[in-house]
Chains A and B, each alone.
Chain A
Amino acid sequence: MGSNFAECHPVGFRWAMKARERGAKLIHVDPRFTRTSAMCDVHVPIRSGSDIAFLGGIINYILSEDRWFKEYVLHYTNASTIVADTFQDTDELDGIFSGFDAEARHYDNRAWAYEGTLPGMPTQVKSADQPHAKEGQPGVDFKRFPPRTDPTLRHPRCVFQIVKRHYARYTPETVARICGCTEAQFLEVARTLCDNSGRERTSAFVYAVGWTQHTVGVQYIRAATLIQALLGNVGRPGGGILALRGHATIQGSTDIATLYNLLPGYLPAPSAQVPQHSTLEGWLENEMPTTGWWANGRKYMVSFLRAWYGDAARADNEWGYQYLPKNVGDHSHMPMFVAMHEGVLRGFMAIGQNPAVGGQNAVYQRAGLARLEWLVVKDLFVTETADFWKAPDVTDPSAIQTEVFFFPSSTTPEMDGSYTNTQRLVQWHEKGVASPGDCKSDLWFTHQLVKRLKRMYAGSTDPKDEPFQVLTWDFEEVDGEASALSVLKEINGYTLPDRKLVPTFGDLKDDGSTAAGAWIYTGIHPEDGVNLAASRVSDDYVALGWAFAWPANRRILYNRASADPAGKPWSDRKRYVWWEPARREWVGYDVPDFPSTKAPSAKGVWSRGGMDALDGDHPFIMKPDGKIWLYAPSGIIDGPLPTHYEPWEGPVANGLYKLHPRNPVAKTFNVVGNKYIDPGDPAFPIVVSTYRLTEHHLSGAMTRWLPWLAALMPELFIEISPELAQQRGIDNAGWVTVSTPRGAIECKALVTRRLRPFEVMGRTVHQVGMPFHWGYRGVVTGDVTNELAAMVADPNVTIHEAKVFMCQVESGRHAKAVLAGLGDAPRPMPHVGRRERQAAEANIDRAIALTAAATDPGQIVVEKPPFPFDQPVGVYHG
């Protein structure tokens, strides 16, 4: 579900096909009949944006038909944990959980805490101040305030009973009514899933951005978590919830974080808005749980700081913690473009990114670029972003003052480096050919940039330049670029001062005697001359000799769960990792994900903290209680349990809740040019979903310039059912105009019976689909699909809602006429005058003041957001 596996990840789909050849059943639940559906045993079409209803229905089926894996659930999930009586469910409050602040549109998730875990808690900051959910939260200091459980699962406030009550409404009839499928189709899926789970069998969920790109995206995945936990499908071979990442090594780019809110190795980035973050001790206390594996967080953070700041990171200066830049708000993609419009953000580097085509509400994003002073684009071709000032909608390019620098980029075969795949497998690749012309690798670019910046700041006495002065940058230089291998060695980590590579993250210390760029990768280069990422020894099964999977070359996370509580395999068929009583250690086909000699019968003592707090049958060691969270007492911004919300722009009313039909804490951007469609607006009655094709990659920046690929998919099209085509007088391969309040575009029609109308809540809902690969540059060109999409996002991770929004579809070519009638789009390109510039200066001054104030806890100044957002998302939060 939520993925078009065969089309968008064809190489990985090889394994799905191998499984099918060996008798596995493949099910595809998707609005369209795609190349993936064509390969599956069962395809169930459901309307875009209704997945939680479908998944909730499966949860209800598992519980009401008594199909749950009792021993697994009792020991390995938090089913028995008792929740405080402050929790109220959406059923009681018509669509919201307790703890909701309607004015600020945010939840105080203390209302969801486990019973007995709250007293003496430090005051939590509001969700707007902590824009991202984090693994460790102050609500779970189990060392001091351990949770209580009821192993009989009968307590009315135990997680099991809460989950059971919450999903009781998701009957097959409700599922069919909301999703537009039939009860029989739904039941076939639920039954197949249950029949293929348990001791002898496992089932896996595979998702991609079809699940994430929603205003409730994180909760989609949480819903699958509940199913997999109840069926015992986590930590076992053939099980799990598999995220298909959208680009090569996008996994690597979150591991060695390019995200603003993360440091490498999933250490949360310090924020100026969290008072506790003003010191390293406060950061550790706030972010690192006291129990479970993350209690080791101090070692990883200190080693990380030592890697970045070397000898300038000392015990007496908090290991250089204050050198780290602090976030002053949500600096994710869409808020950055709002900040451009506000004049706060003045320079932008688009490296391997093409927001002029790929960005939501692309016209708004291009208008943001027009307000920059400078823009760096580094890509394989001169993309639409580099040429944004020549976009078809720009009437007067001379009004745009942005200075654009284009750096031609090398491509993979022209450089050393690594790819981290979706399954955390890091594979090394070597330079095969020299780059043509002036093309340079990203490593070259970054290396040369840092060298120049260091030179620039060398003589500065301004304290703000100190981080650049002390930044260690002693990579071996080859042909002007930092050697990729020497970067890998720093990521792996070494001892100080003798710089001997460390073999495991267990060797990392919090006394400054080790440095490691990203603790999760430690072990990838365990000794000189051994780069495990380049290892290529394969076998028929787990293939531990093929490359390196973080952490610790482990292929299945939490694989302790592949054995029963006593440490025996659940079944011979599914034997994977088990306890060997004679040797008193965990053994198996994979690297066990558990302390190697901790017996299954070991009893944890909460007050000891760390791993000693957990029992020998608590496999989920990254959670502070060692269990899967069916119910999340903290860490999630929009609720402890997934529940069905309609998309921000949807075709029908919510079948469950009247008062709060949509995610009440979704991130919205009420800015000029980003008008939303009200639910049920008859002017925009058609559901549209945007997606990729096999033949092109994302904005087409890597593929639309290649004639071979261009010929395979030459033109932008809209997939449309014969029913809708007939209604609108649209011919196959004829022209169509598609519009939303954000824009209007033209494309060809592909009339196909692979799409169909849905009967939803007693209404016929038409659904169309559009790929988004085309732009105004390249061998083949076309209109920009993302000009239609709105900027609206999931509150946890700020991902946009591209998989479902509303539109109008008409036969013929008249986008210009439609556009003229829209009126709200940010055209023409703005000219930044002196007054706007002064206002921006004031904004920046305030941002600096805010950062400074944050270093002194208790004095944090929170201002009203100066931007007209209905929820603050820019640089300021209130």
Chain B
Amino acid sequence: MAKGFYTDTTVCIGCKACQAACHQWNELPALNDGVVEMTGNSYDNTGRLNAVDWRHVRFIEQFPEDRHQEGFLKGSRWLMMSDVCKHCVRAGCLEVCPTGAIIRTEFDSVYIQQDVCNGCRACIPACPFGVVDLGEDGKAHKCTLCYDRMQHGMEPACAQACPTDSIRFGEVSELMALADQRVADLRGAGVPAYVYGKEEIVGGLNCFFLLVDKPEVYGLPSEPRLPSEHVDEGFALSALAAAAVAVGSVVAFRKDRMDGMHGDEEDFAPRTAPPVDAGGAPPPARPAGAETVSFMHAVHGANEASRARRAAPALASAECGGGGCGGACGCHA
């Protein structure tokens, strides 16, 4: 019985009732007790999902350059979208949590047990959507899908507060059927609508979205990756690293022994430049430690490749604001 949200962005009026209801029910404080500066980014003043904003309404203004009266409205859109934890079928945060604080509930939602969380932050970069954030109490926080309300048969506070039913709560398969129908209707009317959160997105999102533009426009990754998808390459790299360390050690120890034969006065000489008057010992074809250096190059290359793969669905750095993306944006790597 997977429960979740279907957020139809085409009927979102950006009223932020979901944000207010979420704060109220979950007794979340406002950022800096409400005393913040206007961002100048349309009507969005909370910026991103974080430890106290478990819902966040994005405002995307799309207006063409042509300001002549007729042209003004062609393609003019003000998109609004209430973002939230996706409660992924394969949840990155859950995969990496070392303490078992993050669990999957009987409703298939992903829940952080506050009394178990030790604030290790592993879940923060593990989430490809930048949902999880560390609170002032040093623990990880995010949407609970109103686990407490669900246990009493109530829908989450945001869904109940949403005046236009942009946020619907229910059985995921039923919601998906509704969304598919809505997509068909909208496409029939010429609107390029689609569902974001089918299986290809980390195995499916229990909280999925109906969008009308590219995921990146809404600050969502087209191809989110999970930590577990890096296991194979990570394993290979680890094996390579182990081998390299072994080789390096052998070389180093051997060299240490050889160096030891020359007495203490040579201690300050650069170790990569062996003395030329070594007599019978032929100089090494390559300087000592070269294997380590080439290994470092290899590791760096792999990292770069990995980063490049991860950077493809990156959030714009302005959207990230330094941390919410878990490093995926590259702006604070």
Contact = CB atoms under 8 A, between A and B. Distances in A.
A35 interface: yes
A712 B73 contact: no
Contacts of A589: none
A17 B164 CA distance: 7
B9 to A, nearest CB: 11
Given A13-B13, A182-B70, A733-B38, A707 B33 contact: yes
Contacts of B46: 711-712
Nearest to B77: A38
A6 B12 CA distance: 10
A38 B78 contact: yes
A39 interface: yes
A748 B165 CA distance: 33
Contacts of B19: 708, 712
Contacts of B61: 752-754
B322 interface: no
Interface stretch (B24-32, B148-156, B217-225): B24-32
A22 to B, nearest CB: 11
Nearest to A16: B164
Nearest to A21: B11
A622 to B, nearest CB: 33
Contact of B45 (A38, A706, A714, A753): A714
Contacts of A36: 13
Instruction: From A181, A710, A714, A750, name the one whose CB has the most chain B CB atoms within 10 angstroms.
Output: A714
Interface in A7-39: 7, 10-11, 13-14, 17, 21, 33, 35-39
A712 B38 contact: no
B65 to A, nearest CB: 9
B257 interface: no
Instruction: From B31, B33, B45, B164, name the one whose CB has the most chain A CB atoms within 10 angstroms.
Output: B164
B80 A38 contact: yes
A45 B69 CA distance: 8
B160 to A, nearest CB: 12
B30 A707 contact: yes
B63 A754 contact: yes
Contact of A35 (B13, B34, B45): B13
Interface in B39-66: 39-40, 42-43, 45-46, 61, 63
A751 B41 CA distance: 9
B67 interface: yes
A6 B13 contact: yes
Contacts of B38: 713-715, 717, 733, 748, 750
Given A181-B69, A712-B45, A10 B13 contact: yes
Nearest to B76: A33
B218 to A, nearest CB: 15
B30 A711 contact: yes
A35 B59 CA distance: 10
Contact of A37 (B31, B67, B78): B78
Contacts of A10: 13, 15, 17, 163-164
Contacts of A6: 13-15
B15 A759 contact: no
Instruction: From B15, B36, B37, name the one whose CB has the most chain A CB atoms within 10 angstroms.
Output: B15
A756 interface: yes
Contacts of A253: none
Contacts of B163: 10-11, 13-14
Interface in B1-20: 11, 13-17, 19-20
A732 B61 CA distance: 14
Contacts of A181: 69
Nearest to A750: B40
A759 B36 CA distance: 38
Interface residues of B, number: 41
A448 B73 CA distance: 57
B35 interface: yes
A351 interface: no
A14 B80 CA distance: 16
Contacts of B45: 711-714
B104 interface: no
Contacts of B39: 733
B90 interface: no
Given A17-B164, A708-B30, A756-B72, A733 B40 contact: yes
A260 B333 CA distance: 67
Interface string A124-138: 000000000000000
Given A21-B11, A750-B40, A714 B34 contact: yes
A748 B33 CA distance: 20
A13 B33 contact: no
B77 A732 contact: no
A713 B46 CA distance: 9
Contacts of B42: 750, 752
Instruction: From B24, B37, B38, B39, name the one whose CB has the most chain A CB atoms within 10 angstroms.
Output: B38
A693 B44 CA distance: 13
A723 interface: yes
Interface string A540-581: 000000000000000000000000000000000000000000
Contacts of B77: 38
A779 interface: yes
A185 B20 contact: no
B11 A17 contact: yes
A694 interface: yes
Nearest to B14: A35
A671 interface: no
Interface string B259-273: 000000000000000
Contact of B40 (A43, A732, A753): A732
Contacts of B43: 35, 693, 713
A709 interface: yes
B164 A723 contact: no
B255 interface: no
A754 B23 CA distance: 30
A43 B73 contact: yes
A713 B39 CA distance: 10
A600 to B, nearest CB: 41
B326 to A, nearest CB: 24
Interface in B184-224: none
A712 B32 CA distance: 12
Contacts of A185: 69-70
Interface of B: 11, 13-17, 19-20, 23-24, 29-40, 42-43, 45-46, 61, 63, 67, 69-70, 72-73, 76-80, 163-165
17 contacts: A6-B15, A10-B17, A14-B163, A33-B76, A185-B69, A185-B70, A693-B43, A694-B16, A711-B30, A712-B19, A713-B38, A713-B43, A713-B45, A717-B38, A749-B40, A754-B61, A779-B35
Give 7 nearest A-B pairs by CB, closest first: A733-B40, A707-B34, A710-B34, A753-B63, A707-B30, A38-B78, A711-B30
Given A35-B14, A713-B45, A779-B34, 4 more contacts: A7-B15, A35-B15, A711-B35, A779-B35
